[in-house]
Amino acid sequence: MYYFLYDDHNSKNEAIYNENETKKEICENCGGIQTSVKGIYNFAIKGELCDCYDVASDFVISEKFLNVLRENSYTGFEVSETSPVKSTNMPIDEKYYLLNVTGRCGLLRKIDGELFPYCRKCHRKIGSTGLVTTGVTFAESEYDGSDIFAFNNLSNVPIVSEKIKDVLLKSKLTNLRFVALNEWEYSDRILKRSVFRRLEKNSVYPELIEAWIKNGVLTEQELNEQLNKRK
């Protein structure tokens, strides 16, 4: 059994993204934006200090958490420095690290092995596709064997095995939440009027149209009718 690792979504004890210098790359096909932080990562902590946080799609861990990973010689990750403060802008003595998952298991797949809709150019998981499903999996042939790993197109969410999950829990790390891959719920609904609006504005690309038709959001006839209006 494999699990996504998240924080516990406790609004009383959470981390907040602070201003950081970033680098952005925009895909020419789907318009997706890949953002990376340059330099030391800045964030603020609200409430009690915990051992892990989701911070605007980044994953931050405490020094205690990092020590557990290193003591067990787990593979599949790198860390970089952060500069945390309290939400009141008071400094924090404890060390926290930005966790960069390097282990990979290929592209995101539904439980039956079918790939999630993705951009053929940047391989990003595309949104607004109408896909609703429960459970995901990965191809064993695409898994690099790392202890901590992630999907190529969901790289901000760490995945761990049952064994590693048990080690993390026994280490009494705080703010952990595990979701089994085969129970993960995904809902990417989109209204038909929004689809028509995007077609009118030509803010679409082939993979998105393909997903709309496949997921029953749009029929071939409706697509042709909308395309004819633009002629």
- Domain count for the chain: 2
Q: How much is the pLDDT for 225?
A: 83
Is the domain of 54 the same as that of 155? yes
Are residues 170 and 214 both part of a single domain?
A: no
Q: According to the model, what pLDDT value does residue 230 have?
A: 67
Query: In this structure, is residue 32 part of a structural domain?
Result: yes
Here the tokens at position 218 are 């749009």
> What's the distance, CA 158 to chain centroid?
8
Residue 17 covered by a domain? yes
Tell me, yes or no, whether 224 lies in a domain.
yes
| Domain extent at residue 167 | 2-116+136-187
Residue 121 has what pLDDT? 96
Structure tokens at 130: 């109408």
- Within this chain, do residues 183 and 72 fall inside the same structural domain, yes or no? yes
Counting every residue, how long is the chain?
A: 231
Residue among 99, 96, 98, 82 at smallest CA distance from 49: 96
Q: How far apart are CA 119 and CA 211, in angstroms?
A: 11
Residue 147 and residue 219 share a domain: no
Would residue 9 count as lying in a domain?
A: yes
* 207, part of any domain: yes
| Residues 183, 217 share a domain | no
**Is 124 inside a domain boundary?**
no
The pLDDT, as a whole number, for residue 222 is 87
pLDDT given at position 2:
98
Residues 197 and 105 in one domain: no
**Same-domain status, 107 and 197:** no
Same domain, 54 and 166: yes
Question: Mind listing the pLDDT tens digit of every residue in the chain (231 residues)?
Answer: 999 999 998 888 999 999 899 999 999 999 999 888 889 999 999 999 999 999 988 999 999 999 999 999 999 999 999 999 998 888 888 999 999 999 999 999 999 999 999 999 999 999 999 999 999 999 999 999 999 999 999 998 999 999 999 999 999 999 999 999 999 999 999 999 999 999 988 899 999 999 999 999 999 998 888 877 766
Same domain, 106 and 158: yes
Whether residues 161 and 91 share a domain: the answer is: yes
Q: Are residues 144 and 218 in the same domain?
A: no
The verdict on residue 38 lying in a domain is: yes
Helix runs in the chain, H state only: 63-71, 162-170, 192-201, 206-214, 220-229
Q: Is residue 128 part of a domain?
A: no
DSSP state of 214: H
pLDDT in the model for residue 231: 61
Q: Are residues 84 and 42 in the same domain?
A: yes
